[in-house]
Amino acid sequence: MDGENNISNAGRAEVLVQALPYIKRYAGCTIVVKYGGNAMINDGLKHQVMQDVVLLNAIGIKVVLVHGGGPEISQMLTRVGKKSEFLDGLRVTDGESMEIVEMVLAGKVNKSLVGLLEHYGGRAVGISGMDAGLIEADFKDRKYGYVGKVVSVNPVIIRDLLEKGYIPVVSTIGFNKNGEIFNINADTATAYIAGSLGADRMIMMTDVPGILKDKDDRGTLIQELTVEQAGELKEKGIISQGMIPKVECCVTAIGAGVQNVVIMDGTIPHSILMELLTDEGAGTLIRKGTV
């Protein structure tokens, strides 16, 4: 071997050695990942995320992948001649649109992710909130149509899949006792699913680095804070606009039993591995308790 290859191999070995304490720490733990944003649209990033998930699964970490699919839904609605309408930031979903949402989320998007995970050597199973009564939902407000709020989560099917070594890939549609089907916000669904599992960590992949003291300066990232401190930052207006509902989902998850939650930039290659297996981590970690 030449010197360059020796250095490269030595570097790889050093990375593995440094990751060992974290591999031991998280082995057997349950990590719930909310997957969406540009990391889902960009093909290169999509492949890297799937590789990360398969690697974590291979070293004994139980990963649940929960996904949305807003852009794909909009594209399909356009193809069939329906205009996407939004109210209060939510997609107004009539009966015909809900059929398309179900087809895109539980079909096209879900199975494409399963296929990628399988391609990289993972054993993945795609499910929706309707399977085995996973997500019971109801109308959030009838003015939004079939947009759902989570009533309850029955995580038995996810636990069964995890125990058998599978990677559950969950599309966020739910149903009520009348058999009506609902489109559920992926961030919200992820929080409830993670809470029902008592997950060790929930990771929310976004298009920003995390919570910033100055939203225009990525160098002002807040690396760690408590639920109480998050509330204070919201009152001060530091947590604002689109970050508010994301943080609220984090607080919901922690209140339901998740140990901690990370909001991080999913557009950074292998950001999940950086968060879990390095000293520096990635994004903003929110947890219960005092700093």
At CA 212, angle to CA 211 and CA 214, rounded to 5?
155
Domains of the chain, residue spans: 26-287
**What pLDDT is stored for residue 262 in this prediction?**
93
Nearest CA to 188 among 269, 266, 105, 247? 247
Q: Which fold has domain 26-287?
A: Carbamate kinase (3.40.1160)
pLDDT of residue 4: 46
Give 2: exposed, middle or buried? Use CB within 10 Å, 0-12, 13-18, 19+: exposed
Rg of the chain on CA atoms, in Å = 19
Give the number of other CB atoms < 10 A from CB of residue 44. Answer: 9
Residue segments in the chain with a per-residue pLDDT below the cut of 50: 1-4, 291
Q: Can you spell out the DSSP letters for 154-167?
A: -THHHHHHHHTT-E
Structure tokens at 92: 């107004």
Do residues 247 and 22 touch, judged by C-beta distance below 8 A?
Answer: no
Which pLDDT does position 82 carry in this prediction? Answer: 87
Q: What is the pLDDT of residue 7?
A: 56
Contact status, residue 230 vs residue 251, Cβ threshold 8 Å: yes
**Tokens 């699913």 sit on residue:** 193
